[in-house]
Amino acid sequence: MDFKYGNPTPEIVFDAKNLSGKPIEKIERKIMDLNMIFKDKGASETMDQNQIVYEVDCYFPVENDTEGGLFFGITRIKPGKVGDEYFMTKGHFHSNRDRGEFYWGLEGEGQLLLMDEKRRARTEVIKKGSVHYIPGYIAHRVVNTGDTELSFGACWPSDAGHDYASIEEKGFSIRIVQKNGEQHIIKE
């Protein structure tokens, strides 16, 4: 039996914000990477293109696309807005559509947007202690509606893959914006 992946976890530590240790890969998403997802393109173009919107610490214990494997991550979304729309993740369907995922809230507060392939959407409040099962065939995006950093954990199958293209083309059918200091859901 191959125990290659049997015991690496003691090298890894996580808290409410970070995943650290030798095998952790860090991903940064800046305004320049996200211009296409926000409604107000004019507003995003005038912002500092190097401003970080969110960071992901990932633990990939097996190769991408391994059947039966799992990946683990912590995402931190900064507080902020592009125009009146809150900072959010790119959002994606899984390339292998039937693959599910868990998200759980660690710190801060926001909304998890969920949308099926018929573009029917709903939201769940994500905050410290919340647990979210995202079934297969459901696109998912997290929006930081608070004025502090929002962090959440995630665990997903290593053969799920990310389909960003569908979201870049058509977006989600709902957006979360701030109006008169309050969050509002708007339909596209």
* Alpha carbon distance 29, 95 (integer Å): 20
Q: Between 100 and 146, whose beta carbon lies closer to ligand G6P?
A: 100
Smallest distance from ligand G6P to CB 92, Å: 5
Report how far apart, in Å, the C-alpha atoms of 46 and of each of 51, 54, 161 are. Answer: 12, 19, 32
What is the C-alpha to C-alpha distance for residues 22 and 20, in angstroms, rounded to an integer?
7
Q: Which does 151 bind (CB under 5 to 8 A by kind): ligand G6P, Fe ion, none?
A: none
Q: Which is nearer to Fe ion, 109 or 163 (CB)?
A: 163
Rounded to whole angstroms, the Cα distance separating 101 from 170 reads 22
Q: Which does 81 bind (CB under 5 to 8 A by kind): Fe ion, ligand G6P, none?
A: none
- In whole angstroms, how close is the CB of 162 to ligand G6P at the nearest point? 5
Structure-token pair, residue 123: 């939201």
Cβ distance to ligand G6P smaller for residue 95 or 178:
95
- Give least dist CB 148 to Fe ion, A: 24
CB of 34 to ligand G6P, least distance (A): 9
Up-side HSE of residue 97: CA atoms within 13 Å toward CB? 6
User: Which one of ligand G6P, Fe ion, none interacts with residue 90, CB within 5 to 8 A by kind?
Assistant: ligand G6P
List residues binding Fe ion (CB under 5 A).
Answer: 101
- Report yes or no: 120 and 138 within 8 Å, Cβ to Cβ: no
- Strand-pair partners of 101: 134
Max alpha carbon distance in the chain (Å)? 60
In the bound complex, which residue of the shown chain has the CB atom lying closest to ligand G6P?
154
Residue 70 touches which of Fe ion, ligand G6P, none (CB < 5 to 8 A by kind)? Answer: none
Which residues are at the interface with ligand G6P (CB under 6 A)? 56, 73, 75, 89-92, 101, 154, 156, 162
User: Which runs of consecutive H residues, i.e. helices, occur in the chain?
Assistant: 31-34, 41-46, 165-170
